[in-house]
Chains A and B, each alone.
Chain A
Amino acid sequence: MEVAKKVENLKKSLHNSVDFADRQLSINGVDVGLVYLKSITDNSIFSENIFEPIASFQGELTFEVLKKLIRPNDVSEIKQEEIVQNILKGAVVIMLSNSDKILAVDILKFNTRPPAEPPTSPVILGPREGFTEDYKTNITLLRRRFHVENLVLENLIVGKETHTQIVLAYLDGIADKKLVKSVKKKLQSIEIDGVVDSYYLISILSSRPNSILKQIGQAEKPDIIAAKMLEGRVAIIVDNSPIVLTVPFVFLEDLQNSNDYYTNYVYSSLLRIVRLVALFLAAVGPGAYIALQLFHYNILPFKYLITIADATQQVPFTPFIEILFISLLFQVLYEVSLRLPSYLGLATSVVGALILGDTGVKAGLISPPAVIVVAIAKIALYTIPEQSSQITILQYVFLLIGASLGLLGLIGGMIYFLAYANSIENFGAPYLAPFSPFILGDNKDALLKVPLTQMRTRPKSFHNQNQVRISKHEVESPSQEQGGENLSQESGEGNSSQEQGENNSEAGTQHNPKNENSQQNSDTKNENSQQNGAESENDMQQNEQGEEKSGLKQKLNEEEIGYEGV
């Protein structure tokens, strides 16, 4: 078939798309056809590195010659049926009249935003990079954190109409193989028309898709994802989405914040307690206030009772209607401020808070205690923004329970909800681990946080291949011999592998505290001498034995966790 006819057929198969472009040349009697899409290709590369060398060539143009003429490296020979796919992926397809072979040159380019600090998780200290919508950029951001061959990136294509690229990222030797297999199986089993965003995969990966509870981890920052991968989790990068998913997910992950790993551990522990209290206040606060006011006013201390009675006596609504009204008003204001431009959003907030609230109180429509209770609950809601949607729903549920059943119903509701959360196991991880089941080892980085040097093992809430994060003597020796942080500067290249291990460990601590042992596994494998390798293995065994002895609780609770949830 002639090249011109082939080009015409391709144009037809792409429905005469407006961004379809073709160039046809004749070089010494050999017809050359170049086909691409203007919208997703780099025009300058095309003209300088592809079109210009071919057009200026004087000689017999064969397929082998053509391969050498093209300057970019990403050149591949493709089959007839792959032409359309390659064009759609941003390649220039080159056809010759004297050859049946077809060449594809990847010059994909589209405008993407640079990695910037995501608005959902800002940090005071720490890296400010965030994922973008381009999955290749996201892979680059991960690659920069793992200079090891153990970083596995597996490609999957999901969506009948969208053919969305999905990349499964995990650390070989750390992530559990069964976990990887089950995630892959779930993703491959999806028969959906399109995956527009990573959120589309959440309900597919969740063990209970109808649940209001969040069951899949989401993060927009590469340092968070890297830290989770080091714990043995699997990351799922979806093209066109800056949100990367991680499995398995436990509730604790949202209680932790990336800031916690870049500040003092005692302060981090304090903040986590504050977050948990805030979460409790946000969910139960308005409901408890209603329950006390409606059912149990007699158990309120006398001083508070007088204050509340004095403030609420002129309000025409019942306490439930009053609280519900204020809550809904707040929700409306929140929605408006979220969608409006920032300058208008600020104005709306002022109008809502000052005019509506203040005037409402002065007019006697709402009482000051109710405004305070709702305001506290709504502010507390955003101490853990990742959980805000779930907690908002719970807030209304508990408000209803508090108004209808009182304190007994409220506590019953809490037990019910926690039992429900306890029944969820996604990819083998109990939802409320390490609190229930209680896992001592994992509690080192739960509500309270210990120094990073004491977090020697990976989480036991779910399976992973290698439990050891920091070998025992690698942690002890810096303080004994070198005095801590200067070790990484003092230990040179010619040092023993043990020192290298220390170096790596400490360096990891300096750069990314949660990734302090990113090299642990690879270091063990890459030992120069067999003796040192054996020592390292011995350390691991000793450490494992030490962990076994460390507490009865831990051992027992490890046994309880199974893989039944997968």
Chain B
Amino acid sequence: MKVFDRSINVWQAGILLFVLMFANKILVLPSLLFEGAGMESIFILIFFFLLELGLVLLFLALKKKFPTQSFSQILISHFGKIVNVCFFVAFMIFFFAKAVLLYNVTYIFFRNLIYKDTSNLLILFCFLPVINHLAISGLRVMGRTCQLFFPVILSIIVFCVIVGVFGIGSRAIWFQSSWMDVLLTAAKHIEPFGDAIFLFVVMDKINIKNGDWKVMFYLFAISAVLVVATALVFMLSYTYTSFMHPYAVFEIVSFVKEFGGLGRIDIIAMVVIIILAYFHLAIYLKCFMFAFEQVFPKIDKIYSVITFNFLFVVTVIFFIINLETAVTFGEQILPYAEIFPFFILPIFVLIALAIKNKNVQKKPENGGNLQKILKNNERKELNNSQNKSILQNLNIASHLQNVNIPSHNLNYQQQKQKILKKQQKQVKLLKLNKKQKILNSKNNILGNKNNISNEEKNNLKSKNTQKSGFFCNKFQFIAEKEGA
């Protein structure tokens, strides 16, 4: 099975971001926040959205500086391969944990409201084929499908908020919670946030041109406003009893159930939650796939899907059996995972932004070939007969360095020093010879190999000319010194 990943435009990326801003945040979060911080929980939402906005802005700044590079390439060029692997392992864990948390929340929602008498595995069976198909079809297909559902999602949420306004019956009572309560609640329920880091994972797949970033910003702003509005309408509708009603967007519509004489209209809120849950999980899986690809570059992409599915099924079944553990996982362990998107990642991104452009590692398709050819040539050069004698001397010298010579034997020490000096000179000569020959071979390769891109050729040529000039001067300098 092939996994296709073609680029998406800024609209599609923005819509994916838009979708990620909902789900949990309009479902259980307002109720949980109200329980801890009362009406002041609105400020928590606003604060977290500002943090999330910071992530989006960081992404846009990074994208502006490195328009064609992936996050992995940036990490490797600035911090090395190990940091890159660590980061993508963290991404894998983060998105997997988020997926499990989201599934748990939506699972409880579905079980309580629409799947009362059915098997636990039925919900899992509904989700897996669809999210797998979306992820395997590629980011572009996912983006397009999400784009198709975007008007539906937007209109339903706006409709729910507007309808919910009619259900507001009493005034809100503000500033009853202490700031400590607010802070503690914020720390406890931070886990639905930080999804904007998906942008970093798919960074090289997003085409952003000058001025287009506004689209992403607007879509983010709309989603943030809608989440805050939903929470506000919910809290104003239920006031003190808000904590008793766990599903915000659903509850604000059911509050005005006789709207238009249609009877219950909370079905549409249910529909939007289902759509959001599907896309949300699919995006998490896709991000997991991208991260997996970076951690295990040699393994086929499809194994990332298999790994995710296996781990997901096992974890989810475990949590279904042990719901208390799931709650502990969600409320006590997962908040610590938010250190990654809100603290570690921004620091590294800021460092990458602060450091001047470095030579980014070339893509393995072209660059890899070139490097291999050059290395082979280096080895060949070393086998030349002229260099063999120098190598022999070097071996002797290195051997002498390791031999302990008695201090009284001056002649022997002088001889040793002479040999060592000679060895140093020979090393210099050997290095220079080697570099010169490598440069020649590089030029030959550049002339002959058609598979190397023109851009790369030009870069290497310019580097060669600079280096060859430098080496010529150095040669001259050493020759003069030798002569002296």
Structural contact, A557 and B133, CB atoms closer than 8 A: no
* Most interface-central of B9, B12, B271 (chain A CB within 10 A): B9
Structural contact, A412 and B278, CB atoms closer than 8 A: yes
A361 within 8 A of B: no
Structural contact, B267 and A299, CB atoms closer than 8 A: yes
Structural contact, B126 and A405, CB atoms closer than 8 A: yes
Report the bound CA distance from A406 to B119 in whole Å.
12
Structural contact, B137 and A408, CB atoms closer than 8 A: no
Q: List B contacts of A432 (CB < 8 A).
A: 144, 148
B11 within 8 A of A: yes
Report the bound CA distance from A296 to B126 in whole Å.
15
B355 within 8 A of A: no
B169 within 8 A of A: no
Structural contact, A557 and B129, CB atoms closer than 8 A: no
B135 to chain A, nearest CB (A): 10
Structural contact, B115 and A556, CB atoms closer than 8 A: no
Report the bound CA distance from A432 to B144 in whole Å.
9
B433 within 8 A of A: no
Structural contact, B264 and A301, CB atoms closer than 8 A: yes
Structural contact, B144 and A416, CB atoms closer than 8 A: no
A423 within 8 A of B: yes
Q: List A contacts of B211 (CB < 8 A).
A: 552
Which B185-231 residues sit within 8 Å CB-CB of chain A? Answer: 207, 209, 211-212, 214-215
Structural contact, A408 and B126, CB atoms closer than 8 A: yes
B414 within 8 A of A: no
Q: List B contacts of A161 (CB < 8 A).
A: none
Known contacts A299-B266, A411-B271, A437-B147; is-contact A422 B141 (Cβ 8 Å): yes
A520 to chain B, nearest CB (A): 30
Which A287-340 residues sit within 8 Å CB-CB of chain B? Answer: 295-296, 298-304
**What string of 1s and 0s marks CB contacts (under 8 Å) between B83-102 and chain A?**
00000000000000000000
Known contacts A295-B114, A295-B115, A302-B263; is-contact A412 B9 (Cβ 8 Å): no
Q: List A contacts of B7 (CB < 8 A).
A: 560
Partner of B147, one of A299, A407, A438: A438
B127 within 8 A of A: yes
Among residues of A, the one whose C-beta sits closest to the C-beta of B264 is: A301
Structural contact, A420 and B133, CB atoms closer than 8 A: yes
Structural contact, A406 and B118, CB atoms closer than 8 A: yes
A559 within 8 A of B: yes
**What string of 1s and 0s marks CB contacts (under 8 Å) between A387-406 and chain B?**
00000000000000000011
B123 within 8 A of A: yes
B113 within 8 A of A: yes
**What string of 1s and 0s marks CB contacts (under 8 Å) between B135-176 and chain A?**
001101110110111000000000000000000000000000
Structural contact, B262 and A301, CB atoms closer than 8 A: yes
Q: List A contacts of B133 (CB < 8 A).
A: 416, 419-420
Structural contact, A412 and B130, CB atoms closer than 8 A: yes
A553 within 8 A of B: yes
Q: List A contacts of B212 (CB < 8 A).
A: 552, 556
B103 to chain A, nearest CB (A): 12
* Most interface-central of A300, A415, A564 (chain B CB within 10 A): A415
Q: List B contacts of A408 (CB < 8 A).
A: 110, 114-115, 123, 126-127, 274
Partner of A416, one of B130, B215, B263: B130
Structural contact, A560 and B8, CB atoms closer than 8 A: yes
B391 within 8 A of A: no
Structural contact, A560 and B149, CB atoms closer than 8 A: no
A320 to chain B, nearest CB (A): 15
A270 within 8 A of B: no
**What string of 1s and 0s marks CB contacts (under 8 Å) between A542-556 and chain B?**
000000000011001
Among residues of A, the one whose C-beta sits closest to the C-beta of B275 is: A411
Among residues of A, the one whose C-beta sits closest to the C-beta of B134 is: A419
Known contacts A301-B262, A559-B207; is-contact A436 B147 (Cβ 8 Å): yes
A242 within 8 A of B: no
Structural contact, B8 and A415, CB atoms closer than 8 A: no
Partner of A422, one of B148, B263, B267, B270: B148
Q: List B contacts of A557 (CB < 8 A).
A: 9, 11
Inter-chain contact total with CB atoms closer than 8 Å: 120
Which A28-70 residues sit within 8 Å CB-CB of chain B? Answer: none
A360 within 8 A of B: no
Q: List B contacts of A435 (CB < 8 A).
A: 147-148
Report the bound CA distance from A407 to B140 in whole Å.
26
Partner of B126, one of A412, A423, A556: A412
Structural contact, A556 and B129, CB atoms closer than 8 A: no
Among residues of B, the one whose C-beta sits closest to the C-beta of A305 is: B263
Q: List A contacts of B147 (CB < 8 A).
A: 435-438
B125 within 8 A of A: yes
Among residues of A, the one whose C-beta sits closest to the C-beta of B125 is: A405
Structural contact, A556 and B141, CB atoms closer than 8 A: no
Q: List B contacts of A295 (CB < 8 A).
A: 114-115, 117-118
Partner of A436, one of B117, B126, B137, B144: B144
Among residues of A, the one whose C-beta sits closest to the C-beta of B271 is: A411
Structural contact, B145 and A415, CB atoms closer than 8 A: yes
Partner of B144, one of A304, A422, A553: A422
Structural contact, B262 and A296, CB atoms closer than 8 A: no
Report the bound CA distance from A432 to B209 in whole Å.
25
Among residues of A, the one whose C-beta sits closest to the C-beta of B257 is: A301
Q: List B contacts of A296 (CB < 8 A).
A: 114-115
A409 within 8 A of B: yes
Structural contact, A299 and B126, CB atoms closer than 8 A: no
B33 within 8 A of A: no
A418 within 8 A of B: yes
Report the bound CA distance from A7 to B148 in whole Å.
68
A430 within 8 A of B: yes
Structural contact, B116 and A298, CB atoms closer than 8 A: yes
Which A524-566 residues sit within 8 Å CB-CB of chain B? Answer: 552-553, 556-557, 559-560, 564
Structural contact, A418 and B148, CB atoms closer than 8 A: yes
Report the bound CA distance from A435 to B144 in whole Å.
9
A227 to chain B, nearest CB (A): 26
Report the bound CA distance from A418 to B264 in whole Å.
28
Which B239-268 residues sit within 8 Å CB-CB of chain A? Answer: 262-264, 266-267
Report the bound CA distance from A406 to B125 in whole Å.
12
Known contacts A408-B115, A436-B147; is-contact A299 B264 (Cβ 8 Å): yes
B475 to chain A, nearest CB (A): 51
Q: List A contacts of B262 (CB < 8 A).
A: 301
Q: List B contacts of A413 (CB < 8 A).
A: 130
Known contacts A301-B262, A556-B10; is-contact A407 B270 (Cβ 8 Å): yes
Report the bound CA distance from A437 to B146 in whole Å.
10
Report the bound CA distance from A560 to B206 in whole Å.
11
Report the bound CA distance from A413 to B126 in whole Å.
9
Report the bound CA distance from A418 to B10 in whole Å.
21
* Most interface-central of B148, B212, B214, B215 (chain A CB within 10 A): B148
B104 to chain A, nearest CB (A): 15
Known contacts A299-B270, A302-B263, A552-B212; is-contact A411 B278 (Cβ 8 Å): yes
Among residues of A, the one whose C-beta sits closest to the C-beta of B10 is: A556
Report the bound CA distance from A448 to B139 in whole Å.
28
Which A409-454 residues sit within 8 Å CB-CB of chain B? Answer: 409, 411-413, 415-416, 418-420, 422-423, 430, 432, 435-438
B122 within 8 A of A: yes
A212 to chain B, nearest CB (A): 16
Q: List A contacts of B4 (CB < 8 A).
A: 423
**What string of 1s and 0s marks CB contacts (under 8 Å) between A505-538 and chain B?**
0000000000000000000000000000000000
A252 to chain B, nearest CB (A): 13
Report the bound CA distance from A157 to B116 in whole Å.
63
Known contacts A407-B270, A416-B133, A423-B137; is-contact A438 B118 (Cβ 8 Å): no
9 pairs, CB–CB < 8 Å, chain A vs chain B: A298-B116, A304-B263, A405-B122, A408-B127, A411-B274, A411-B275, A422-B137, A552-B211, A556-B212
**Shortest beta-carbon contacts, A-B, top 4:** A301-B263, A436-B144, A436-B148, A412-B130
New A-B pairs, 18, CB < 8 Å, besides A295-B115, A408-B123, A419-B145? A295-B118, A301-B263, A303-B263, A406-B114, A406-B115, A408-B110, A412-B129, A412-B278, A413-B130, A415-B130, A415-B145, A415-B279, A436-B145, A437-B12, A437-B144, A438-B11, A556-B9, A556-B209
